[in-house]
């Protein structure tokens, strides 16, 4: 088995168009989409190793488009901030980088320009990007591989949609030793030189200039995109917060989580980088295990859900028991808030309003409150299907990590009991797990959190957890 055959046989690699690389091709192209980083990127590693075995240069092609579903200026601004770090780190490894944007975004045209011998990309289980990969596989005339670069255990090894964490966990834990290893950051043996006539944008370009897109949501002032920023956050979390993770992770007023979800969503940091840093940390084993349960098992369960359930972003994803119990309570009386009232945080519930305000202002919401937030939307909507639709709309519009498997799995858990079990029957919710203001607010200092978010909304200093303003400052 030669080097290319070994790469093809890697469980992380999906051969979408088979065949031997074009012997007359001049380079290997990595079409970068989901994994927007040059550090610890399994897809890039496959591309570089393939290029080295062929004795050809490797070039990364990144070409954002303005029509990604539900994306707006907040999301594109964060993506844009990550581009310089990608370019800088690629150059250090002798790898080329070509940046383009709509309407000059077509990967097939680029591959023809540079005469690609082989094309590699990253996997994305979401509906739209998966359709793009299928179209490229149909139209390319050279081999096309995709690499499952943003999970630890390759998604296809879970085989089917998992019912809950307790069914996924044994599979993931059994395979973890084989896949939770350093990715490698191999240097290119043949340095890329930009061919004459091949165009690339400046790395500091505003990729959104002139685009017709939703600009109603401003870029976050609390998060800056890019691998370097992600690494700073990881370093701070491991050093200052991981040890207290078990006791403090569900206390939003303390802001003791990693805040890495936006960076994982955009691929500015990879799960291998995070998991290996946590494993090596000087912190109690119980704290490390608790974090890795969330970072690996729960996150990869969400990816599994989106990969295998075509209804991941709507009410139809529910299990039969949830459909039946919610239908049985369809006529229950309930307090109704319209979409505009919810978006404007205009409810009677100060905790829910505070969580919504945090999301709108910062692009991030504490995970414990995300559960409460979505369950209250179910309680205040005419139907569960409408609740699901509103929750997806708000999540995708304001969260930097919206439009992501984690977000959809969280909404499904909260509204239709996905990955959960039937609980005690009650109005509106049926046997879907309920969360109440009184019980939830007693589990942390909710009054403090509410006041922090009020201060944040009013622009006052000392507004409590404002993720990103001074996360890296050592206390």
Domain boundaries, the chain: 3-149, 151-184+226-308, 311-458
* Count of CB atoms situated within 10 Å of the CB of 474: 6
125-140, pLDDT tens digit by residue?
999 999 999 999 999 9
Whether residue 474 has pLDDT greater than 80? no
193-249, pLDDT tens digit by residue?
999 999 999 999 999 999 999 999 999 999 999 999 999 999 999 999 999 999 999
Which of 405, 381, 422 has its CA nearest to residue 312?
Answer: 405
Question: What are 343's two structure tokens?
Answer: 């978006």
355 with 369: CB under 8 angstroms?
yes
Distance between CA 413 and CA 103 in Å, rounded? 38
pLDDT at 459: 85
**Distance, C-alpha 383 to centroid of its chain:** 28
Whether residue 326 has pLDDT greater than 80? yes
Distance between CA 293 and CA 168 in Å, rounded? 11
417-436, pLDDT tens digit by residue?
999 999 999 999 999 999 99
The helix/strand/coil state of 75 is helix
Average pLDDT over all residues of the chain: 95
137-160, pLDDT tens digit by residue?
999 999 999 999 999 999 999 999
Q: In this structure, are strands 27-31 and 58-62 parallel, antiparallel, or unpaired? A: parallel
- Main-chain phi, psi angles of 314, to 5 degrees: -150, 170
Whether residue 1 has pLDDT greater than 70? no
At 463, is the pLDDT very low, low, confident or very high (cuts 50, 70, 90)? Answer: very low
Whether residue 469 has pLDDT greater than 80? no
Q: In this structure, are strands 144-147 and 13-17 parallel, antiparallel, or unpaired? A: antiparallel
At 461, is the pLDDT very low, low, confident or very high (cuts 50, 70, 90)? Answer: low
Pick the CATH number of 311-458 from 1.10.579.10, 3.20.20.10, 3.40.50.80, 1.10.10.10: 1.10.579.10
Whether residue 466 has pLDDT greater than 60? no
* Architecture, CATH, for domain 151-184+226-308: Alpha Horseshoe (1.25)
The helix/strand/coil state of 119 is strand
Distance between CA 154 and CA 122 in Å, rounded? 12
Got the DSSP string for 92-142? Answer: HTT-EEEE--TTS--HHHHHHHHTEEEEEEE---SHHHHHHHHHHHHH-SS
Pick the CATH number of 3-149 from 3.40.50.620, 3.90.1150.200, 3.30.465.10, 3.40.50.970: 3.40.50.620
* Count of CB atoms situated within 10 Å of the CB of 39: 20
342-387, pLDDT tens digit by residue?
999 999 999 999 999 999 999 999 999 999 999 999 999 999 999 9
Task: Kindly report the pTM of this predicted structure.
Answer: 0.96
- Tokens 């009020």 belong to residue: 454
**Distance, C-alpha 471 to centroid of its chain:** 20
Distance between CA 326 and CA 69 in Å, rounded? 29
- Main-chain phi, psi angles of 426, to 5 degrees: -155, 165
Question: What are 12's two structure tokens?
Answer: 């992380």
* Residue 15 β-bridge partners: 145
Q: CATH topology of 3-149 equal to that of 151-184+226-308?
A: no
Got the DSSP string for 319-354? Answer: -HHHHHHHHHTTT-------HHHHHTT-SS-HHHHH
266 with 62: CB under 8 angstroms?
no
């Amino acid at each position: 088995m030669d080097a290319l055959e070994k790469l093809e046989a890697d469980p992380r690699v999906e051969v979408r168009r088979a065949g031997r690389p074009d012997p007359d091709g001049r380079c290997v192209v990595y079409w970068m989409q989901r994994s927007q980083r040059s550090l610890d990127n399994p897809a890039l590693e496959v591309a570089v190793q393939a290029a080295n075995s062929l004795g050809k240069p490797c070039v990364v092609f990144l070409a954002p488009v303005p029509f990604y579903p539900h994306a707006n200026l907040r999301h594109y601004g964060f993506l844009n901030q990550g581009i310089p770090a990608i370019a800088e780190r690629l150059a250090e490894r002798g790898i080329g980088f070509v940046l383009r944007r709509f309407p000059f975004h077509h990967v097939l045209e680029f591959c023809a320009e540079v005469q690609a011998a082989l094309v590699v990309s990253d996997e994305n289980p979401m509906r739209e990007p998966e359709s793009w990969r299928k179209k490229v596989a149909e139209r390319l005339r050279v081999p096309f591989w995709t690499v499952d670069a943003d999970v630890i255990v390759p998604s296809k090894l879970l085989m089917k949609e998992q019912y809950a964490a307790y069914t996924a966990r044994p599979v993931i834990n059994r395979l973890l030793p084989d896949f939770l290893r350093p990715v490698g950051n191999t240097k290119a043996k043949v340095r890329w030189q930009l061919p004459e006539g091949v165009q690339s944008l400046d790395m500091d370009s505003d990729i959104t200039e002139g685009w017709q897109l939703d600009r109603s949501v401003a870029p976050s002032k609390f998060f800056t995109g890019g691998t370097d920023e992600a690494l700073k956050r990881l370093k701070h979390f491991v050093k200052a917060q991981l040890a207290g993770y078990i006791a403090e992770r569900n206390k939003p007023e303390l802001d003791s989580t990693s805040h890495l979800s936006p960076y994982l969503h955009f691929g500015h940091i990879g799960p291998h980088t995070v998991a290996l840093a946590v494993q090596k940390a000087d912190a109690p084993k119980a704290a490390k295990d608790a974090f890795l349960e969330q970072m690996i098992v729960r996150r990869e369960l969400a990816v599994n859900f989106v990969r295998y359930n075509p209804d991941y972003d709507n009410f139809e994803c529910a299990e039969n028991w949830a459909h039946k119990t919610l239908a049985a309570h369809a006529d229950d009386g309930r307090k109704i808030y319209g979409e505009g009232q919810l978006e404007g945080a205009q409810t009677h519930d100060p905790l829910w309003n505070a969580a919504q305000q945090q999301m709108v202002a910062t692009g991030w919401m504490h995970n414990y409150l995300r559960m409460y937030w979505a369950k209250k939307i179910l309680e205040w909507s005419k139907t569960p299907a409408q609740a699901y639709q509103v929750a997806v709309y708000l999540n995708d519009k304001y969260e930097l990590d919206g439009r992501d498997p984690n977000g959809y799995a969280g909404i499904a858990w909260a509204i239709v009991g996905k990955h959960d079990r039937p609980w005690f029957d009650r109005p509106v919710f049926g046997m879907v797990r309920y969360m109440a203001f009184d019980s939830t607010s007693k589990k942390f200092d909710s009054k403090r959190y509410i006041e922090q978010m009020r201060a944040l909304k009013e622009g006052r200093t000392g507004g409590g957890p404002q993720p990103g303003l001074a996360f890296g400052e050592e206390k």
